[in-house]
Amino acid sequence: MERFLLKNIDSPDSAGIGEYLRTGGYASLKKAFGMEPADIIAEVKAAGLRGRGGAGFPTGMKWDFASRDPKFPKYLICNADEGEPGTFKDRPILEKNPHLLIEGMVISAYALKSERGYIYLRGEYPHARAVLDKAIAEAYEAGFLGGDVAGSGFRFDLSVHQGAGAYICGEETALIDSIEGRRGQPRIKPPFPVNVGAWGKPTVVNNVETLANIPLIVSMGAGRYSEIGNPECPGPKLFSVSCCVERPGVYELPMGIPLREIIYEHAGGVRGGRELKAVIPGGISTPVLTPDVLDCPMDFVNLPKRGSMLGSGAVMVFDDTVCLVRVCWRAMRFFEHESCGKCTPCREGTGWMRNILERMEGGFGRDGDIELLQDIARSIMGKTFCPLGDGAAGVVLGFLRNFSDEFMYHITNKKCLAESG
Amino acid sequence: MIELTINGRKLQARKGMTILDVARENNIYIPHLCWDRRLKPYGGCRLCLVEVEGQRKLMASCSSPAENGMVVHTDTPALRKARKTVLELLLVHHPLDCPICDKAGECSLQDLAYKYGPSQSRFYGERKHDPEATSPLIDRNPNRCILCGRCVRVCWEHQGVGAINLIGRGFKTKVSPAFEETLDCEFCGQCIDACPVGALGAKPYKYRARAWFLESRDSICPYCAVGCTLTLDVREGRILRVRGVDGKGVNRGDLCGKGRFGFDFIYGDSRLTSPLIRTDGELKEVSWEEALHYVAGRLKAIKEEHGPDAIGAIGSPRTTLEDNYMLARFMREAVGTDNLDTSARLGYAWVLKGVEETYGIRLNPVRLDSPVGKDAVLVIESDITSTHPIFGLKFLEAKLNGSRLLVVEPRKTKLARHASAWLRIRPGTSTAFLNGLVRYALAGGVHLKKEITTEGLEELQESVKDYTPQRVSEMTGIAEDDFTEAAREFITAESRLLAMTVSAAENQKGIETVRAAANLLMLLGEGPEALQIPADYSNTYGAWLMGVRPLGKGRDLYGMLYSPGAVRALYVMGEDPLVTMPDADRIEEALKGLDLLIVQDIRMSETAKLADVILPAASWAEKEGTFMNAEGLPQPVPKVVAATGDSIADWMILRNLARLMGHDLGSMDLETLQDEISGLPPETGTQRWRFAPSDWRLKEGPDAEYPVVLVTGNIMQHSGALSVMSKSLSHVLSDAFVQISPEDAAKFGVEDGGFIRIVSRRDSVFIKARVSDEIPEGMLFVPVHFAHARVNALTFASPDGTAHLTAVRLEPKA
Amino acid sequence: MTLKDVIRKVFLVEIVKGMALTFSRLFTRPVTRRYPKEKRPAEPGFRGLHALVRNPATGDAKCVGCGLCAAVCPSRCINVYTSEGPEHQKVVDGYEIEVLRCVFCALCVEACPYGAIALTPHYEYADYSREALFMTKERLLDNWDRYMGEEGLRYFDSFWNPKEAHFKPPRGQAMFKGRIIGGFSG
């Protein structure tokens, strides 16, 4: 299909402003300045764009809340803290097409009447940092950022804030704390950042991919845009496919494409033609699914019906050689390491689930461990401060729901079902 | 009005209340660990979860706003299960060393585990084993920490300090000062009271007793004039610790380091245990009978020879109302003189005089919560968070609630750090600043907006005509723009407050400052309640009311202490003029010239060392009485422990002495005394506003020979000369020092920690230097508490009450 | 009064009968114990004089000074004094029992989480002075050595902790300064 977000990334100089302008870049910006800010918000609303960070909140609605708040200044923050295992969809935009993001941010800022923007970049993306810094400098020079953007009189300043490697700072309120110079810990909601965000002012936090969609909506118009993919949540979507496939990578495909098509047509099928055992459809914090959901359309509407979520669109494919206890344990190690320590269930619970999984994996599992694990996960579910703990519990529950026999095998036979063939 | 249902009860709530607030107000119990009344909700412990009908998830009641029509359940099987799991998880890492932990018996986690928790944990495993971190007064055991964050938040949000924070993440998170260094803070100990478990404790109390060995008694703090309620925990007749109990007293449970740790001054080494009489130059222990007969005889002889006005007395701002009342009656009736005063003469008396001159009222008690809710709060050259820490907290609270906090202050004090605007003024020039504001207000025609008095207005206009912003800027060192901005902000605010302290220990403000402040406020149509100047010590206000001051033609403090030869005999009760009052050399001369010096004190003070007779008095907590705080609120102080040695209450000594002098005062016991006191006529006066022009000039400004100004004052951990008796407080700071700016240090060749000689026109002292960027160039700051430093030998007293800075020069050690 | 009664009185029949019984008892075994010469052994669980259990490893009392015994004591006859030691550890400076006020309910023994206080089988401690019945820590430890030999231990264990020798905390449950009991996934 036609690529919109990753249009020119195959060109060797795709990150430069020259190449971007040559392929029609910053045209949407000029078009946007001809529109009223409220009209842009209405357009985004009409396009049905939903946040690409994982929760899938309608972007237009978020903007509407923020623009209705009478407080000024307003802040626009791009969430580029892409820290979830399996997710690397924003990276091509950041490294290969940064001007698309900048253009999207300027249009968004204009719509929101914000004069200050930040890109909160993941700490482990040093290359992206260099590319972004260069792109921002180019944009300032070309007059697309600064005191008088593209001669419209609109002021917008943008800078990159690099995190220090904490996954929790991908949560918007923790991200704001981090930008403010504090310890990155989620804040109490309500009030939501759209009303009380950075330095107490209305703040919109959007994912990289979401913001990259904005120029598209402005240039195509909401009508044409919403024809892409599933009409309920339209638009192009970046899928980062990894693990046991022939061709792992980022694929730009329309929203609502069936999982089977992603794995077998675009990613070249399961590695070595082996049998597909499990799929995690949206990054490690979404529950695992069995192969019988292969025909489920990948979008925000259909996946929850099958007991999982689209999340960030990071498809992780496991074939029959992979030990899922190990995968679950590894995921839990990640959550334990990344738990911020604010609320009890997540701080202590993730560590304990990791501990139990570790002894299962190591062949020291006991009778009743599965029930214990389930009990802890259920006790954590819905009782933590932010979605990180819910995610951790959801992963465990997902694995136990679909693959409990494999866990059982680990306990009774002290070895792995997959590895023992 | 919001209506909601909790556990089947229909309840009403105000906007902005959380579910937990509503439940607490209606005595519905919801367990919690990380919530604290004073702090913003945190939502970390997840124990306060409640079920709200129609909500899929359980909600944290501490952070969920109450909404109309909500139906809430606080105790359901699902909630019990959730709480049980949370406690089980907390106990995974919490060491079960309750038999050793000092918190056992009053530990929230213990109580909750008992109520909701599992009897046995399904998890066993690694516990933290970080080393304990000890500091002079606060003991931290990170292993017991449950990371509720209350200490961190009370330190930053409530105290405005931020000495500790959470470091690390996840399970490895711990509470620590920056870079895991030793805790070095103001040692208020609020974190100790905030901690729900035994992770933070008072070092002096460590392993001293179990909670159930203690008996709790409420008393009033003996230090500053806020009059905080202390909860004393006593074991077998000895006070072991002091706590603040949430919601109790004028302080509502907040305490500063002095109140919390300074109680052990009553166990100080220098306590007097029996009366002493000087014979042949040596002080000898004698019986009470002998001592009192001696005193009565000598006083009678002096009275007969030189008349009663040759005898004077100095009362104490630290003793009770009853003691001071008895002293006043003793002097007026048994001796027959009006020579009577307290240290308030050097500070608070000027405040009252200034208020009377302008507003026409004779007393102006403060209101402790007055800063909260004011649009603009102006603090004039006063470190209120050090002198009156709990009153100071209200300024931080006001700031947090949206007030503009304007701080005019040379030192970088806590208030200056938290100020909306900090105007770094040249020390001692705040009168000029205020006069500048008056002129600015007059020029802007602000006074016309409200109906005000015109009495003295012309003189006022005349007196301030030179205080143009430009001139003020030159005098005070504040940039002209900053001045006009602050002036505009203060003058145009909807509601405003002006606060400062005037004290014997501070030498940069005087009656002119009070007059200028009152003029400004009257001009803006503000009554005396907008002028908040608290009395200094626990009973300064009360001693004044008890008439411990010349009511007629008697000699005041200046007439007794600074005029050698004016009186032949002096009766000093609970005061140490040689340390706390300026110009110590002159006082020493006056005291040495006396025929008879009687010192009645709890300890061997510097003044007592010169005395002919020393009478040991029972201290705070060893006698019953009443303190009157800066609000004018009389608060009972109970007897909690037995008196030290042979000491007895001051009022009893005076009663006995009067009898021996052949004059029975009639007051036999505390009850009749208190009846008499409560029968005293109220002293208020009616408001009658008139402007009193304020003249500003520095009596002793810096010049070529003495280029630096010396400012004396109180520091956070000490109060007057009393607190240095406390071993705990001395752990934090036991030595005198002079703070000097880095610029001056470089200019005069002073090294941090090195000794320097400070020379004024009167004397010189040898003192340790601390280079600190809290101090601006051209200024020195010295705390006055330490007797051995003799700082007050440098300063001077000015009987006209004007600000009296001391100009000094520095001589670094060769 | 009949003749029969008169004869009975004259010949002191009642007294002779009684003396006959007395005389016959001279040749039977006594039913009472001849206490000072003959001592009765205490049954398990008998509550005699108090003792503080000596920890064989350190030679000092096992007591950590938690004060639960004092908290539970109905006659308030126990006092525990602790302080901070040189290595910031808790030191039991004093442990006092006023034996004269004790009601021998043994709630202290039950409350102690470490089995550090015991009631010995020794009951012969009557004295003429109050002082002799005021037990300090040293005297209580001495009591342990004196009255809780092998025999005493058997008596103590068979009643108070029949299954385990000592009240050890469950594995992995308690941690004190510098020493960790339990470890990885118990």
Residues from chain B contacting residue C180 (CB–CB below 8 Å): 127, 129
Domain boundary among A225, A252, A276: A225
Residues from chain B contacting residue A339 (CB–CB below 8 Å): 169-171
What's the confidence (pLDDT) of residue B703?
86
- Which of C72, C78, C88 would best serve as a mutation to test chain B binding (most B beta carbons within 10 A)? C88
Phi-psi region at B801: left, alpha or beta (left = phi > 0; alpha = psi -120 to 50): left
Residues from chain C contacting residue A359 (CB–CB below 8 Å): 185
Domain boundary among B249, B267, B285: B267
The answer as to whether B99 is a domain residue is no
Torsion of the alpha carbons at B6, B7, B8 and B13, rounded to the nearest 10: -10
Whether the CA torsion B282, B284, B290, B291 is positive or negative: it is positive
Q: Does one domain contain both A197 and A58?
A: yes
> Over the stretch A55-81, which tens digit does the pLDDT of each residue have?
889 999 999 999 999 988 999 999 999
Q: Does one domain contain both A65 and A171?
A: yes
Q: Does one domain contain both A338 and A309?
A: no
The answer as to whether B451 is a domain residue is yes
Q: Does one domain contain both B656 and B728?
A: no
What's the confidence (pLDDT) of residue B83?
93
Distance CA B622, CA A161 (A): 61
Question: What is the residue type of B106?
Answer: E
pLDDT band of residue C178 (cuts 50, 70, 90) is: very low
Q: Does one domain contain both A58 and A154?
A: yes
What's the confidence (pLDDT) of residue B680?
86
Q: Does one domain contain both B248 and B292?
A: no
Tally the domains of chain A: 3
The answer as to whether A418 is a domain residue is no
Q: With an 8 Å Cβ cutoff, are A339 and B63 in contact?
A: no
What's the confidence (pLDDT) of residue B663?
86
Q: Is C60 within 8 Å of B186 (Cβ atoms)?
A: no
Q: Does one domain contain both B245 and B160?
A: yes
Domain boundary among B224, B240, B267: B267
* Least confident range of A29-43, A65-79, B242-256, C101-115: C101-115
Q: Does one domain contain both B353 and B337?
A: no
B743 lies in which domain range?
Answer: 708-812
Angle, vertex CA B297, rays to CA B296 and CA B302, nearest 5: 100
Instruction: Show the low-confidence residues of chain B (pLDDT under 50).
Output: none
Q: Does residue A289 sit in helix, strand or coil?
A: strand
Q: Does one domain contain both B584 and B653?
A: yes
Q: How far is A55 from chain B (nearest CA, A)?
A: 17
A398 lies in which domain range?
Answer: 324-413
CB-based contact, B420 to chain A, within 8 Å = no
What's the confidence (pLDDT) of residue C77?
94
What's the confidence (pLDDT) of residue B204?
92
Q: Report the residue count for chain A.
A: 421
Q: Does one domain contain both A158 and A279?
A: no
Q: How far is C83 from chain B (nearest CA, A)?
A: 5
Q: Does one domain contain both A245 and A218?
A: no
Q: Does one domain contain both B249 and B238?
A: yes
The CATH number covering residue A288 comes to: 3.10.20.600
What's the confidence (pLDDT) of residue C57?
86
Residue A338 pLDDT greater than 80, yes or no: yes
pLDDT band of residue A8 (cuts 50, 70, 90) is: confident
Q: Does one domain contain both B44 and B67?
A: yes
Residues 6+ apart with CB under 8 A from A377: A349, A353, A392, A393, A394, A396, A397, A400
- Minimum CA–CA partner of B83 in chain A: A379
Residues from chain C contacting residue A364 (CB–CB below 8 Å): 185
Domain boundary among A257, A288, A319: A319
Q: How far is B44 from chain C (nearest CA, A)?
A: 25
Q: With an 8 Å Cβ cutoff, are A340 and B42 in contact?
A: no
CB-count burial class (<10 Å; 0-12, 13-18, 19+) for A57: middle
Q: Does one domain contain both A215 and A288?
A: no
Distance CA B738, CA B766 (A): 10
The CATH number covering residue A395 comes to: 1.20.1440.230
What's the confidence (pLDDT) of residue A421?
53
Q: Does one domain contain both B337 and B361?
A: no
Domains of chain C: 50-168 (3.30.70.3270)
Give the mean pLDDT of chain A: 92
The answer as to whether A70 is a domain residue is yes
What's the confidence (pLDDT) of residue C165?
41
Tally the domains of chain B: 5
The CATH number covering residue A122 comes to: 3.40.50.11540
Q: Does one domain contain both A170 and A76?
A: yes
What's the confidence (pLDDT) of residue B451?
66
- Which of B97, B120, B145 would best serve as a mutation to test chain C binding (most C beta carbons within 10 A)? B97
SS (H, E, C) B68-81: CCCEEECCCHHHHH
Count of C-beta atoms within a 10 Å radius of residue B305 = 10
Distance CA B327, CA B335 (A): 10
> Over the stretch A357-377, which tens digit does the pLDDT of each residue have?
999 988 888 888 999 999 999
CB-based contact, C183 to chain B, within 8 Å = yes
Q: How far is B755 from chain C (nearest CA, A)?
A: 33
Residues in A whose CB is inside 8 Å of some CB of B read 166, 168, 183, 188, 190, 336-345, 347-352, 355, 372, 375-376, 379, 382-385
The answer as to whether A9 is a domain residue is no
> Over the stretch A19-28, which tens digit does the pLDDT of each residue have?
999 988 899 9
The answer as to whether A102 is a domain residue is yes
- Which of B102, B124, B206 would best serve as a mutation to test chain C binding (most C beta carbons within 10 A)? B124
Q: With an 8 Å Cβ cutoff, are B57 and A382 in contact?
A: yes
pTM of the model: 0.89
- Which of C62, C68, C80 would best serve as a mutation to test chain B binding (most B beta carbons within 10 A)? C68
The answer as to whether B119 is a domain residue is no
Q: How far is C170 from chain A (nearest CA, A)?
A: 19
CB-based contact, B82 to chain A, within 8 Å = yes
Domain boundary among B267, B300, B318: B267
Q: Does one domain contain both A90 and A109?
A: yes
The answer as to whether A421 is a domain residue is no
Q: With an 8 Å Cβ cutoff, are B213 and C172 in contact?
A: no
Residue A143 pLDDT greater than 60, yes or no: yes
Q: How far is A321 from chain C (nearest CA, A)?
A: 29
- Minimum CA–CA partner of C113 in chain B: B99
> Over the stretch A82-137, which tens digit does the pLDDT of each residue have?
989 999 999 999 999 999 999 999 999 999 999 999 999 999 999 999 999 999 99
The answer as to whether B194 is a domain residue is yes
The answer as to whether B64 is a domain residue is yes
The answer as to whether A6 is a domain residue is no
Residue A379 pLDDT greater than 50, yes or no: yes
Q: Does one domain contain both B288 and B363?
A: no
The CATH number covering residue B59 comes to: 3.10.20.740
Strands (E), B104-169: 133-134, 138-140, 164-167
The helix or strand, by DSSP H or E, that contains position B408, with its residue range, turns out to be: strand B404-408
Name chain A's partners: 3 or more CB pairs within 8 A.
B, C
The answer as to whether B699 is a domain residue is no
Residues from chain A contacting residue C183 (CB–CB below 8 Å): none
- Minimum CA–CA partner of A369 in chain B: B122
The CATH number covering residue B723 comes to: 2.40.40.20
Q: Which of B125, B44, B145, B143 is nearest to A389 (CA)?
A: B44
Domain boundary among A286, A319, A352: A319
Beta-strand relationship, B779-783 and B806-812: unpaired
Residues from chain C contacting residue B124 (CB–CB below 8 Å): 171-173, 182, 185-186
What's the confidence (pLDDT) of residue C186?
31
Beta-strand relationship, B531-532 and B569-573: unpaired
Question: What is the residue type of C185?
Answer: S
The answer as to whether A244 is a domain residue is yes
Q: With an 8 Å Cβ cutoff, are A383 and B168 in contact?
A: no
- Count of alpha carbons within 13 angstroms of residue C7, beta-carbon side: 3
CB-count burial class (<10 Å; 0-12, 13-18, 19+) for B450: exposed
Q: Does one domain contain both B208 and B288?
A: no
pLDDT band of residue C158 (cuts 50, 70, 90) is: low
Classify the complex by whether its ipTM is higher than 0.85, answering yes or no.
yes
Q: Does one domain contain both A329 and A308?
A: no
- The structure tokens listed for B239 are 């006070």
Name chain B's partners: 3 or more CB pairs within 8 A.
A, C
What's the confidence (pLDDT) of residue A4?
86
What's the confidence (pLDDT) of residue C175?
32
> Over the stretch B561-574, which tens digit does the pLDDT of each residue have?
998 888 999 999 99
The CATH number covering residue B360 comes to: 3.40.228.10
- Count of alpha carbons within 13 angstroms of residue B780, beta-carbon side: 34
What's the confidence (pLDDT) of residue C32?
86
What's the confidence (pLDDT) of residue C23?
92
Distance CA B45, CA B146 (A): 9
Residues from chain A contacting residue B173 (CB–CB below 8 Å): 340-341, 347
Q: Which of B91, B87, B77, B75 is nearest to B30 (CA)?
A: B75
Residues in C whose CB is inside 8 Å of some CB of A read 185
Residue C184 pLDDT greater than 60, yes or no: no
Residues from chain B contacting residue C83 (CB–CB below 8 Å): 207-208
The gap from C-alpha A118 to its chain's centroid, in whole angstroms, comes to: 17
What is the secondary structure of B452-508 as a DSSP string? ---TTHHHHHHHTTT--HHHHHHHH---HHHHHHHHHHHHH-SSEEEE----TT--S
- Minimum CA–CA partner of A166 in chain B: B169
The answer as to whether A2 is a domain residue is no
Q: Does one domain contain both A141 and A279?
A: no
What's the confidence (pLDDT) of residue C166?
44
Q: Does one domain contain both A348 and A406?
A: yes
